[in-house]
Each structure stands twice: as C-alpha cells, then as structure tokens.
Structure 1
C-alpha cells in the first residue's frame, strides 16, 4: 500500500484529528477517564499512559476526537519548566560522566536506524525516502517534514513515528510496573503550590513565556519544551527559585500529551494498514532492543545506573520519555540531556547521511 493511501496526518496544522470544540472536549473527557483508571491501578505515568490508551482505542473505534496543537504546546511549556527544575549544580558537575554514554548513544542511534530501515524496506511497500525517515529513532514532526520535502510520503512517516512513540510509552512504564513494581506518580513528586509564593510563580511563568518565545525564534527542535526547559534550568541553577509547577497542572499536561498521541490515529484504518502498522511496531521493538543492549554496554563501561541509561536511550518522544523518567524517579537531567543530544544528532545528520548514501541511488 502506498503512503498516499494512508489517511494519517503529521502534526503541522492547528488540529490533530477532528476539528471543532466537541471533538476536543470528547477527547479530553476520554483521556481524563483513562488517567483516573490508570492512576487507580497505580501505574507509573498514569495520567499520560491512561489518556494515551483510551484515546487511541477511541480513534480506532471511529469516535470523533481531536486535539488542538496550541493547547498541546501550552502544556508542553509547563512540562519544559518542570523538567528544567530538575537541573541542579550537582548534576551539572556530572556532565563529564555522560561523555562515554553520549558516544555510545551515537552508535546506538546509527545502528537502530540502519536496522529499522532494512526492516521497513523488507516488510512495507514504502520507497527508500519514506523508509529512511520513518526509521529514525526520534523527531516525529521534524522527520515527517524533512522526509516530505525530500520526496517521501509524509503520512506514512508520521504513522511509523506515532506508532514508535505509542509502543515505547505503552511498553517501558508497564515493564517497570510489572517487573520492578514501580508505582511512582508524577503527582507524588510535585508538591503542588505548597511553599511557592508569588515570586516563585512569577519566575516559573517567566521561564515558560521567555523560553517558548526564545525557542521559536532560535528554531530549536521541540522548541516549546526545550526553550522553557533551558530557561528554567538556568533559573534553578542560578538559585532564583527551587519551585515547581503545581501538581494538578502536571497531571493536566500529561492528559493532554497522552490524548494527543491517541488523536494521531484518527482516520487510520487498521484493516487497510495492518501490514504497515505491524512493521512499524516491529521497528519500534528493534529500537527498544537496541536501547537495552547498548545501555548494558554503557553500564559495563561507566557504571551509570542501568535504568537511567535505558530510559536515556529509549526511542520515545522527548516529552514522553522525560515524563516517564520523572515518574520513575530517574535522574531527569541525564534523560533530558541524552534525548536532546539524540534529537540534535538526528536532525542535523539525518539529511546529510540521506543525501550522501541514499539519494544518489534513489
């Protein structure tokens, strides 16, 4: 099946899924219900995971759900500020310890992308360009846009990346819950408004606004998260505040992000796309296996915490993986730094490698 037959759109417009307020409200209600259930089941990252599962099922059932990109971006800003609060002077001093890990991450990214490219070429009818950009272990929006500009099928690339994120989000937290017994919720790690005064809130709001504007002006990848995270990290490292966004906002942000993942599958017909979807999920598991394998190598070489390294290498979205790290009590600075590094690596080297190795044979 050609990517042109896939009724699946990347997130580059104002709406993910169906337009209108009713689809948005319905999506949020469904996502919130999923969050409540998963929180009751004491799942890690309950609000995002529950919202993701419920909204994905709703999308495949044909319910009219939708997510406004602006709302998602606003919640991503909150999460960026929250993640920035995890940077402390003590953690910055450890950057040198991550040098070897970042080098291994580079090898893992290249290996995983090559294996997934070969896998997708074998099990889908997609062309070389589409398979190449669909195989990248990160950058849903960036890879979709770049792949489309170079002649690939945007909808197929977006489908593969959305399924990659969905697979990782559904796999890793459940693994930690069932195998390691992890039950930590983000809400238990964010103490809400207690101890925050108006100056703290002013600084946090300022970090979000300034960071979002700066991120857009500088055209940073994942700008609505990266910009606020960097500014928040500077504020916390500089001792301006040690506060965090309130817990209820963090839960709301998780619901919006999780619901947004599910809304990406609006219009996807499982009966017509089962081959491509199965291949994309298989590619996601290849990347997860690479993450675990290379994390074991890094652990042996450096002694870094294995769980933190696995999460740092996991091929999920930047926002999703950082949230999972926060929920599991894993060092946020390490997870965020590695995912930012991989995102930059993919965005800057992906097109160059494509032009050098593949385009001339295409």
Structure 2
C-alpha cells in the first residue's frame, strides 16, 4: 500500500536535493549555535522545501544505515557503571505502562472528539510512539494511513523543534560549549572501527531476524552496549559520521511532508499541536512526580518520557550531556509497550467494530 504522506519515491535526484538542502540547513544551524544543530537544521530546511513542492526524499536504506550509526553511538553510552543503576530505574520503567495508557487514552479522546478522526485513525494517531508500526497496524485495521503518518510526523517535528530550545532557555544549555559526541575519524584505531562496524551490521541483522521493533536502531545499540559493557572497546563513531547521520535523519523527517497539500499539512499540524500538548503535559506530570519519588533529575525524566522518536530524543540527551543510556532504555521500553500492547488493546476495546482497509490516498 503506497502512501505519499510517508515519502515520495526516493529517486537519486530527490535524495541529492534533500541531502544538499539538509546539509546546508545543518551547517547554518551549526553556525548559529542552535541545539542539535545538524538534525534540526536539516529537518527545518527539508520540511520547508517539501511543503514548497520541491522534489525531496530520503532512501529508506540510507536512513537505515545512518540510524544504525546512531544506534552504535547510543550503545557506546552504556558503561560498566551503568549496571549499578538498573535497580534505580525499575520504578520509572514500570511507570511507562501507565504513561502509555493515560497519554494514549487522552490523545485518543482528543483526536476522536476534537479533531473528528474516525475511531481507528484517532486511536493509532494518538499512541505516543512507534510511528512506522502505528501506520502499518492502523491502516491494516481500516485507519487513514495518511492522517496517522502526518499526525505522528508532526508530533515528532514539534517535539524536536521545541524541547532543545526549552532546555537551552530553562537550563542554560550552551551548544557551543559542549564537546563533540565522537572523536575525529582519523583518530580511531582500525580495531575499534572493525568492532563498531560489526556492531552496526550484525546488530541490525539479528534484531531484524528476531522481529524487534525499530530493529535498525535497537539492534546496533544493543550489540554496541554489549561491546562497551564488556570492555571490548571504548570508542564512539567519528563526529563526522554522527553529523551526517543527523542530517539524514532530520532530512527524512522533513521529506515525509513531500507531496502533501498545504491544507492537509496545516490541518495535521494544527491538531498535532493539541495532541502533542496533551502528551507533553502527561510527560511533565510523570517526570516531576517520579523525581519526588526517585530523586532522578527531572530534565532526564522529561526526555525519557517525551513523545518524540527514540533516536531523536537520545540525540538530544547526548547534546545536553545527559544520561543517553537512561533516555534510550526508556524509549525502547515505551516503543515495545506501544507496538505490542496497542493493537491488542484496540481489539479488546472494539470487539464489534467493523473496519475496512483504507489506502489513505
């Protein structure tokens, strides 16, 4: 089932245009010392280009490769000392189930009765995570694939465009003062390069074979975490490759708006603002409540529970020098809960609902 709201056909011309624009936007954001510059700059530039009708797209294979790079980077955040903190996370990880149920339930009510989405579309558009999975499952049950994809893409766009700036204003974060996330390429040893590459390739293949959600990110991250926890390597991917990965991921988010009418985009953004506000409000309630109970920093909990993408929220954690392993682990559990439990809960709550598959066109 094709869905132009997800992405236009990724021809070489479209990919090159998107990458050139994304790189230019990332470079400009870097010069302006914006937070998460390469990804936000690329995302903003390509989003504007897509809505203006320019032919932009990112090939899924290229995005998959760069997401694997980010997975290896996130795995490098797992140090042996991390094992000492797992018990401290038990309460916050358990609270994710309640967060998903409350946030998803309130979002469903909003999209059903305020945005006037049909029941299936409202349910899967309101789930806090699992963009690709919610599009596939929701459309197979009769939901509007285009509305679901636009709503989730808009939510991620809004969260990524606001959270880093909010932390910069409220926390005094200075992007220019942060060290680069990885070493220069020429400083890496050949053995470290081999281990990091193996983590990316083998981790992805194993995760895909096991049908793990977000396999391109979770697999490389898990294997990289094992390698770093075991002391096989302490290396991180080079910052040049990390910047390129951010450009590709940011451009891919922006390219999701290619081929979609401005009226539909305005409607999706308008209602996504309300849906995102609901999820962010629930996030803040959980974050500050759990801070009182556990003593964990509220800013780390806000990122861990925020309704953004796993890769994107983890990158923000790295940019803010927070515990990226803590943030990534919570998002992995959230995605697992959403992907596994949301379809089951929908069928239980709607045993008599007759649905027919829609193309979303």
TM range (shorter): over 0.9
Contact 1:113 1:137 in 2 (8 A): yes
Deviates more, 1:117-126 or 1:228-237: 117-126
Give the match's secondary structure for 1:152.
coil
Corresponding residue of 2:53:
62
After TM superposition, the score normalised by the length of structure 2 is 0.94
Q: How big is the shift at 1:19?
A: 3.3
Query: What is the count of residue pairs matched by the alignment?
Result: 353
Aligned partner (choices 11, 20, 24) of residue 29 of structure 1: 20
Please state whether the residue corresponding to 2:185 is helix, strand or coil: coil
Matched, 1:279 2:275: no
Structure 2 unaligned blocks of 5 or more: 355-361
Structure 1: gaps of 5 or more residues: 11-15
Conserved? CA contact 1:65–1:266, under 8 Å = yes
Alpha-carbon separation, structure 1, partners of 2:293 and 2:186:
42
- 2:297 paired residue number: 305
Aligned pairs for 1:163-202 within 5 A: 163-184=154-175, 188-193=180-185, 195-202=187-194
| Residue aligned with 2:127, SS | coil
Aligned pairs for 1:201-240 within 5 A: 201-240=193-232
Q: Distance in 1 between matches of 2:114 and 2:249?
A: 30
1:93 is paired with a residue whose SS is helix
Aligned to 1:352: 344
Structure 1 segment 45-124 matched on structure 2, within 5 A: 45-124=36-115
Spell out, residue by residue over 1:75-111, the C-alpha distance to the aligned partner (whole angstroms, 9 max, x if none).
Answer: 0111111100000111122111011111222211111
**Greater Cα shift, 190-199 or 56-65:** 190-199
Measured against aligned partners, the alpha-carbon deviations of 1:177-202 in whole angstroms (never above 9, x if no partner) come to: 23323233786231223652111111
Distance 1:41 1:182 in 2: 14
Please tell me whether the aligned partners of residues 3 and 145 of structure 2 are also in contact (alpha carbons under 8 angstroms): no
Residue matched to 1:322? 314
TM-aligned CA distance change 1:311 to 1:305, over 3 Å: same
CA root-mean-square deviation: 1.8
Partner Cα separation in structure 2 for residue 71 and residue 189 of structure 1: 21
